[in-house]
Amino acid sequence: MLGIDRTDAAVRAKAEADLAAHQARWDAADRAVGYSAALRSERDAADRAEALLQVLCETPATTLAGVAAKLDAVVKEGQPSENDAEFPWPQIRSAIEDIARISQQREPG
């Protein structure tokens, strides 16, 4: 029974050493290519964009252009692709176009 315990301990120690060496290689490669730093920056930028969109949505629009800008920001941030055909993206893009058309019709001259 003692032999099994020593063998298990040796196998465990080797596995831990192998894992630590693998992690060290991974960490070095990560630093070399900047993956984790880029991922953190991307996450920070997304958080900032979300916060700005929240502020924009909480700010009352005072013009049709302001309403269109708010809708455009939601579309740009929320839709999966530029011309996504899934509800509600085409409907929102259509409303933005309507607002732009109405706004142009209301302009003098």
Mapped to the 3 state alphabet, what secondary structure does the chain carry? CHHHHHHHHHHHHHHHHHHHHHHHHHHHHHHHHCHHHHHHHHHHHHHHHHHHHHHHHHCCCCCHHHHHHHHHHHHHHHCCCCCCCCCCHHHHHHHHHHHHHHHHHHCCC
What is the model's pLDDT at position 50?
94
Q: Which residue has the tokens 């409303």?
A: 95
One domain for residues 61 and 12 = no
Task: Place 109 in a pLDDT band, splitting at 50, 70 and 90.
Answer: low
In-domain check, residue 38? no
- The tens digit of pLDDT for each residue in 38-87 reads 999 999 999 999 999 999 999 999 999 999 999 999 999 999 999 999 99
Task: Place 93 in a pLDDT band, splitting at 50, 70 and 90.
Answer: very high
In-domain check, residue 39? no
**Does position 104 have pLDDT exceeding 60, yes or no?**
yes
One domain for residues 75 and 96 = yes
The model carries a pTM of: 0.66
Range(s) of the domain holding residue 53: 45-109
What is the model's pLDDT at position 68?
96
**Does position 29 have pLDDT exceeding 90, yes or no?**
yes
What is the model's pLDDT at position 33?
97
